[in-house]
Amino acid sequence: MSFFIGLCLVFFLLMLGCAFRFGFSLLAQHKQPLQLDIDFVIHAFFQGILVLILMLNFVQFFTLSNQAITMLLLLMALISCMVVLIGGLKLPFKIERPDPPTLIVTALTISCSILIFIASHSLPNMAWDSWAVWEGKADQWFYHGLSSPIETWENWINGQNLLYNQSANYPDGLSLLFFTAKLATTNAFSAIHVLYLFAFTATTLLLANRIRDWEGSLFMQVFLVLVLYTTPLISNHLMIIGYADIWIGMILAMAMIAYLDCYKFKTKGALITLVGYLTLLPMFKLEGWVWLILLLLSHALLYLYKNKTSRIALGVFAVGLLLIIVLFGINIDTPFGQFKLSSEGLTVFTLIDSELSFTDVTDLLMSGFFWQNNWSLIWLGLPFLICSYLINSHSTAERVVHVFFVSAILSFLFLFYFTEASKWAVDFTAVNRVILQLTPCYVFLLFKMLTGWQGKNGSETPATP
């Protein structure tokens, strides 16, 4: 039963997303036919998640009972259906029937997800982070009302009408998805499992379709799907669900695709899709802020690097900044918290507050990356990928994605070698989970490189906005 409720939840999110996309096309009075294909559905699903989270964030300003929120969501579903219906009648469409290779890849991807569901659907929520934080917060809202603020110990003990959670400062995105499922069923966890697997299926399909668009063979697409589903730590996170890291991984991969699409099509629709994914990033985990900032910095860096004067200014700025950090340090108070960087320590808002000192975690990294078979062989491809960045020519958007990926890996290594985060390497918690957030993005870049190497790579980025 909870499986069907999970499917209903997926359908609801799809409707919200489709209504969002149709609504935008109706308002913009698009004359160009809207391409209805798998990519459209996939983006609609993730946009549905964004719309739902934003709407529930808005609802949190008002004191509404669970019944009222359920009614509101049903009303939203109804309105979405109407918008889709109106859009269906008024908008011009181009329906593309999927070709046999796409159908094979789709069938394979869905089969992999179904197998994982069958294998693990009776597992309860054993993820500590999840039952204590993500589902924990959803439970607290379910019992006390969605508008009840969840606070840290100090605020809770000194305040009134507040709820306590040990990770009150964590983002609410995943908790709100759990909360929505709880409104529909008492076995919300199984329903959420369906949502996890659908989201991963959608991400995998979009990545495989992009490989197809790059004229990658059916073999390459099937190989990509196999790699994504048989990478032990990815399939672990699809089986032992509840963690938010896999969501960041999926959203980051989608954001990367949306960024490449945005560069190619330069349409408002593509830009809104990209902004949607960038907005989703910090809604699921605090690390989302780091990836978002790195992506924006990579974008700014590459666009400044185009011009000779900017390049010189950038170089002077970088050297100056480095000198200031080494000699005096930087200490800025922002509305998000303190940003402090000096040779002694690093404080980035509420994300990290640590002294800087070297810890040799090489053995742990080697174990995590290779010897435990958590990632199978994928990290063997990293040197080849980095070399391909330097040897081959790429579009500006591709270079931004490459700079982002390299800077993300360097940030990861910096965190574990030079900050107190090294303690999380010892028990393989964060050392594996943080890198998981980059893995779908990495696997795609790896397959893009292999497809290009096979000699069928177009220079442009074909896609559907």
C-alpha pair distances (Å), 239 with each of 42, 131, 229, 308, 320: 21, 15, 11, 50, 48
Three-point CA angle 172, 173, 174, nearest 5°: 100
Beta bridge partners of 93: 34
Helix ranges restricted to H, 185-267:
188-213, 218-230, 232-239, 245-265
Q: Which residue has the tokens 């994300």?
A: 351
x/- mask, other proteins, residues 413-432, rule CB under 8 A, reads: --------------xxx--x
Give the shortest CB-231-to-other proteins separation in angstroms: 9
Q: Which residues in 7-46 contact other proteins (CB under 8 A)?
A: none
Beta bridge partners of 337: 334
Q: Of residues 8, 76, 77, 123, which one binds other proteins by CB under 8 A?
A: 123
Spatial contact of 441 and 253, defined as CB atoms under 8 Å apart: yes
x/- mask, other proteins, residues 243-282, rule CB under 8 A, reads: x---------------------------------------
Closest by Cα among 52, 2, 440 to 276: 52
Give the shortest CB-239-to-other proteins separation in angstroms: 8
Q: Which is nearer to other proteins, 103 or 380 (CB)?
A: 380
Q: Which residues in 128-167 contact other proteins (CB under 8 A)?
A: 128, 131-132, 136, 139-140, 143-145, 148, 153, 156-158, 160-164, 166
Give the shortest CB-217-to-other proteins separation in angstroms: 8
Give the shortest CB-1-to-other proteins separation in angstroms: 9
Q: Which is nearer to other proteins, 148 or 354 (CB)?
A: 148
- CB neighbour class for 328 (10 Å; exposed up to 12, middle 13-18, buried from 19): exposed
Contacts by 444-448, CB closer than 8 A, 24 or more apart: 444/207, 444/210, 444/211, 444/224, 444/253, 444/256, 444/257, 445/385, 445/401, 445/402, 445/405, 446/378, 446/381, 446/385, 447/207, 447/211, 447/216, 447/220, 447/223, 447/224, 447/227, 448/210, 448/211, 448/214
CA atoms within 13 A on the CB side of 453: 13
Q: Of residues 9, 51, 53, 227, which one binds other proteins by CB under 8 A?
A: 227
C-alpha to C-alpha distance for 234 and 207, rounded to whole angstroms: 15
Q: Of residues 109, 175, 180, 190, which one binds other proteins by CB under 8 A?
A: 190
- Amino acid at residue number 162: L
Tokens representing residue 107 in the block: 């069938």
Q: Of residues 219, 303, 317, 336, which one binds other proteins by CB under 8 A?
A: 219
Give the shortest CB-243-to-other proteins separation in angstroms: 7
The alpha carbon dihedral of 197, 202, 205, 206 has a sign of negative
Q: Of residues 29, 122, 334, 459, which one binds other proteins by CB under 8 A?
A: 122
Give the shortest CB-187-to-other proteins separation in angstroms: 6
Spatial contact of 73 and 13, defined as CB atoms under 8 Å apart: no
Q: Of residues 453, 458, 460, 462, which one binds other proteins by CB under 8 A?
A: 453
Give the shortest CB-435-to-other proteins separation in angstroms: 12
Orientation angle between helical segments 245-265 and 439-451, nearest 10 degrees: 40
Q: Which is nearer to other proteins, 126 or 332 (CB)?
A: 126
x/- mask, other proteins, residues 343-382, rule CB under 8 A, reads: ---------------------x--xx-xxxxx-xx--x--
Give the shortest CB-228-to-other proteins separation in angstroms: 11
226 binds other proteins (CB under 8 A): yes
Q: Which is nearer to other proteins, 336 or 453 (CB)?
A: 453
Q: Which is nearer to other proteins, 98 or 232 (CB)?
A: 232
C-alpha pair distances (Å), 383 with each of 380, 406, 413, 452: 7, 11, 15, 16
Q: Which residues in 39-98 contact other proteins (CB under 8 A)?
A: none
Tokens representing residue 149 in the block: 């603020």
C-alpha to C-alpha distance for 255 and 78, rounded to whole angstroms: 29
Binding site for other proteins (CB under 8 A): 2, 119-128, 131-132, 136, 139-140, 143-145, 148, 153, 156-158, 160-164, 166, 187, 189-190, 217, 219-220, 223, 226-227, 230, 232-233, 235-237, 239-240, 243, 364, 367-368, 370-374, 376-377, 380, 427-429, 432-433, 450, 453-455
